[in-house]
Structure 1
């Protein structure tokens, strides 16, 4: 089968897996974790990233596949987020709940507010629910009011429940403790792009142009790689190259420019986009078709790519092919897909594994705080739409 046909089949198969494994019948919403052996972990905490990404996935699947299950699960996800993750007193979404749905970590990450905007914009697109659109717009206004640094620009990483500074703003332990990060700005860009695409207005355009400008001016380097971490005054604290983020940013930046419909802007970002894609292909992609995770500035290459990097490489390489008509980009995408099927379980009866089968790494959960169907599910939808067009 071709990559185009495979993408359609794989997207529907992923929908089956996530629809059949995550529902929390006892406590509502979705389970917080499915372990590496496909067993539920009923007492696992419930993260806002998993839940907002589930809302995005089921909403996008409802529109793409027409499957009634997806729409029902999108309704379930939207209701649970508004009922449990929303801070009714201070606004914004909590970071983490316990298994019963009570706040466990009440900090407010800009990253998580962005994913809620992204998810509710997609939910609105699938349902035309005016309340969903209002929720997304309210979260955008809150993000602008609370996280934007009026003095020096950019979005602050995190604040406390009542919007006070935090000593530790990191998304995860592996991140540099920096108050402004590429990762958060990339997903604010992604969220604002989708909101502007489904319900454009002057406010959504202004916000999208602002975050895109910051991405281009601060986070895209002349070497074809993203700068990852900054202090408040924009002192660069980047210590590594992230190939997965390079290729993901390439197509998300291009998508933002296309949604804005500005030909001058498209001309401006085109070389930036292709430089990011080319650096990921040239430095991160090996002969077998695996996209490496990252490399440090001392030259150490982490060759064991995570599942999400392979998914983003598929979209990014196809996007570069669409931009250039250069078939070597499609050859790269085909190579990544063959490797992903051979090493990550794509095309089988299960969710993709975190690492390749050949990687000497401990097995990690199939679903959880950081493992969800957003990357690979989105890749299948994007590939099907792009290749059929």
Structure 2
């Protein structure tokens, strides 16, 4: 019962009561990003003009209510806990920015307007030049309100995920952007950052069994030894992306090694879905559930789609 009550308390944020009344009116910025992502993908899949209108409305909301200068706040202005610090010293994060970069990329596929192009350029530049640590080749996780980096651990999963999200964003910008010269330069920059981050991640975060640890120390060593489900999925896509950029077979071998770990330690056999962490891993911190507030078929399904689409493109 104690575990159930703990789960209930953790789920209160961002949920409604059964009668539709609001439990917590916090509008997390990255939650708005996933709305933009969903509407944009629905437009790509169906051509729905209604979904396009919702995508446009969500984009406007993000740009007007979730942004301060060039940077994206943790929560929409004037909602819930407002923008209280997410750490003792800072209130801007890597996580929010890369999960706005991600849907902005998808939105630019369906809306090639100049304002969207500038939003995407801004996010690519922030990711490659502020969030990316050029000295140590990983993402900084947290920042103060001036977007100055704060000390902390390294998130191997976000680094290898961000490596391909950044590349994808720059590729989409090059394809649809009006300023081709700028887009080409940003794509080259994105590819360099991506390879540097994949190299750092694989050399510092991957175990001999192919599982990728959750977090590490910048100077070396593992901070959080969990081999979390979504981190393994991103290791596959990030490694394949690095192979496509460089042609170096070692990255493809790394992807296959990660997939072997997933099959052996993560996939829930004939019942389906993935475990929250590898069976040979310490308990995953956020959820012991196959599906829950922080566990769903997102990263693993997306990884499958990504590999399928990349193989299709190579076969053409």
TM-score range, shorter chain: 0.7 to 0.9
- Contact residue 158 and residue 179 of structure 1 kept, 8 A: no
- Where does residue 97 of structure 1 map in the other structure? 16
- What CA deviation, in whole Å up to 9, does each residue of 1:21-75 have, x standing for no partner? xxxxxxxxxxxxxxxxxxxxxx969979xxxxxxxxxxxxxxxxxxxxxxxxxxx
Match of 2:3 in 1: none
Which of residues 272, 280, 286 is equivalent to 2:193? 272
CA shift for structure 1 position 217: 1.9
Kept in 1, the 8 Å contact 2:124–2:166? The answer is yes
CA distance in 1, matches of 2:74, 2:129: 18
Compare relative contact order (CA 8 Å, sep 6+) and give the higher one, 1 or 2. Answer: 1
Q: Whole-Å Cα distance in 2 between the matches of residues 358 and 135 of structure 1?
A: 43
- 1:225 CA displacement: 0.4
Alpha-carbon distance in structure 1 between the residues aligned to 2:47 and 2:269: 33
Q: 1:192 aligns with which of 90, 104, 129?
A: 104
Alignment partner of 1:355 out of 277, 299, 305: 277
Does structure 1 retain, via aligned residues, the 8 Å contact 2:289–2:295?
yes
Matched residue count: 298
Residue 162 of structure 2, aligned match among 229, 232, 249: 249
Tell me the TM-score normalized by structure 1: 0.71
The 5 Å alignment of 1:1-389 reads 95-99=14-18, 101-150=20-69, 153-159=70-76, 162-163=78-79, 166=82, 168=84, 170=86, 178-222=90-134, 223-261=136-174, 262-296=183-217, 299-345=221-267, 348-361=270-283, 364-388=288-312, 389=314
Q: 2:38 and 2:154 mapped to 1: Cα distance?
A: 28
**Partner SS for 2:296:** coil
Asked if the contact 2:83/2:91 (under 8 Å) is kept, the reply is no
Structure 1, unaligned runs of 5 or more: 1-42, 49-93
Structure 1 distance, partners of 2:144, 2:90, is: 6
Paired with 1:325 and 1:189, the residues of 2 have a C-alpha distance of 26
Mean alpha-carbon deviation: is it higher for 234-243 or for 189-198?
Answer: 234-243
State the alpha-carbon separation in 2 of the partners of residues 333 and 245 from structure 1. Answer: 16
Kept in 1, the 8 Å contact 2:24–2:80? The answer is no
TM-score (norm 2): 0.86
2:214–2:227 contact (8 Å) kept in structure 1: yes
- The superposition leaves residues 301-358 of structure 1 with CA deviations (integer Å, 9 ceiling, x where unpaired) of 3222210000011100000111111111110000000100100116643110001111
Unpaired stretches in structure 2, ≥5 consecutive residues: 1-6, 175-182
